[in-house]
Amino acid sequence: MTNVEETAQNSSPEERPQIFRIEQESIDATNAWDLRPEILRALYTKGPDLWVDLARVSFIDSTGLGMLVSVLQEARDIQGTVHLINASREVRRVLQVTGLEMLFEQPAPAAAP
């Protein structure tokens, strides 16, 4: 369990981080713009701060990155933010190489037990 999930379980409903879990294994040109309305719906109904769980995502391309940046811009327009959590090593690496890691305020990966 991540620190965010622990916080979610131990907080009152209004204090809980709102988590949107992406179920797809990739966020790419084939699905990014279909996924965007779902994330925005979560942002506007649960936000303005939204935690996007990338645990199942093993691949993201430039289209997926662009979509996430556009969601972040929408969140900032309503004085919110988007946090990416549980990103795989591969996805974290893409975020680092592109310089986007800092934009999404990723928490450090949880230490192994």
Q: Is residue 65 part of a domain?
A: yes
- Please tell me the total count of domains within the chain: 1
Model pTM score: 0.79
Would you say residue 35 lies in a domain?
Answer: yes
The answer to whether residue 105 is domain-embedded is: no
Q: Is residue 107 part of a domain?
A: no
- The range of the structural domain enclosing residue 59 comes to 17-98
What is the rounded average pLDDT of the residues 81-106?
90
pLDDT band at 107 (very low <50, low <70, confident <90, very high): low
Q: Is residue 104 part of a domain?
A: no
Q: What is the CATH number of the domain that holds 90?
A: 3.30.750.24
Give the pLDDT score at 105. 67
111 is a domain residue? no
Provide the 10 A C-beta neighbour count for residue 103: 17
How far is it, in rounded angstroms, from Cα 109 to Cα 113? 12
Look at residue 44 and tell me whether its pLDDT is greater than 70.
yes
**For residues 24 and 59, is the Cβ–Cβ distance under 8 A?**
no
109 found inside a domain: no
Give all strands of the β-sheet with 49-53 in edge-to-edge order.
Answer: 18-21, 49-53, 81-85
